[in-house]
Amino acid sequence: MNAVDDISIDIAKGEFLTFLGPSGSGKTTTLMMIAGFEEPSAGAIELEGEDLTRRKPYERNIGVVFQNYALFPHMTVERNVAFPLRMRRFPRNREAARVREILDLVGLGPFAGKHPRELSGGQQQRVALARGLVFNPDVLLLDEPLGALDKSLREQMQVELKRIHREVGITTVYVTHDQTEAMTMSDRIAVFSHGKLEQVAPPLEVYHRPRTRFVGEFIGDSNIFAGAVDESQPGCVTLEALGPVRVDVEAWRRVGKGAVDVLVRPERVQPAAPGADPALPNRLVMEIGVIVNYGDRVLVIGSARGQRLRMRIAGAQPDAIREGAKIIVGWRPGDEHLIARE
């Protein structure tokens, strides 16, 4: 069985592309093949028209930043960052200036003389990033670089990485299993599953218009209902457990016929007033099981006709929303996304 199979991606110059997927999905293997640490059994890896497939890692002019930093403990920050320059025989009379420049870029200028053991985790990660950038690589690869950091430091480093990418303009490929990182940092996201590419698209397209059920379930929170297109009624889909619902007519036409999955994000589900409402025709009785209050929003988890249902409400929790209560909820046609089943 192949670790990855039939992977084909074109990456634009200066783009920030994220490989996203669960453990074992093939994202890191693909990154290691780009870096030259793994050799593909078939296919080619090209950079600006040059075939890199059989070149050694040091012949590719590609920077790599690992999760474990991989710093030399006996070297100072300055010497760690200078190491790639010396390996590439960079002119010694320009080395110090280049190292200072890149350390200033990552905010570590005052720490040049310190050793890795004297730095925090976030500072060590910046050293690793500086070392990956110092020799002006054509591409920068980052393999889950923030995985070892705590939440607040990880969020801070996300902002820093985006700033550095914007200032340097380097083509960046970033591997993570963290959906938030992928959504907030990327120009595009490549979603991996079982060694295959499920979808490559901008973050909002991946979120709002997932190409497969796997992407819809993996990215963000979701309600997904199995159903079938009702060919006799334009804009109607019959869900297996919930009955007929109204959907966007254009989306209904694009799907055609047959089995579909209907994705409704929890923020699209809303409490409904009793009685008919033409603007909110898709209405269900939801029995509330659990309420999770985040302060700025409330996640309501329950069920409707035996189907799991999640609703996210912005702001304070309404009085009617309480555990064990039954409430009417609904969504508008067009608030759903239809995924044709293969």
Residue 48 lies in a domain: yes
Chosen domain end from 181, 213, 245: 213
85, 131 Cβ separation under 8 angstroms:
no
Q: Report phi then psi at 82, rounded to 5.
A: -75, -20
For the stretch 61-106, pLDDT in tens is 999 998 787 899 999 999 999 999 988 888 989 999 999 999 999 9
CATH assignment at residue 30:
3.40.50.300
Residue 162 lies in a domain: yes
Domain count, the chain: 2
Domain that holds residue 326: 221-340
Pair 225, 92 in one domain: no
The one-character DSSP state at 233 is: S
Pair 23, 164 in one domain: yes
> Burial, 232: exposed, middle or buried (Cβ in 10 Å; 0-12, 13-18, 19+)?
exposed
CA distance linking residue 298 with residue 73, whole number of Å? 46
For the stretch 197-244, pLDDT in tens is 999 999 999 999 999 999 999 999 999 999 999 999 999 999 998 999
16, 185 Cβ separation under 8 angstroms:
yes
**Closest to 63 measured CA to CA, from 176, 177, 184, 170:** 170
For the stretch 259-283, pLDDT in tens is 999 999 999 999 998 777 778 899 9
Residue 58 lies in a domain: yes
Position 206, amino acid: V
In angstroms, how far apart are the furthest CA atoms of the chain? 80
CA distance linking residue 159 with residue 157, whole number of Å? 5
Q: For the chain, what percent of residues have pLDDT higher than 90?
A: 77
Pair 170, 283 in one domain: no
286, 302 Cβ separation under 8 angstroms:
yes
pTM of this structure: 0.91
The one-character DSSP state at 75 is: S
Chosen domain end from 164, 190, 213: 213
> Which two tokens mark 244?
């007929």
CA distance linking residue 231 with residue 61, whole number of Å? 55
Torsion sign across C-alpha atoms 202, 208, 210, 213: positive
Pair 145, 27 in one domain: yes
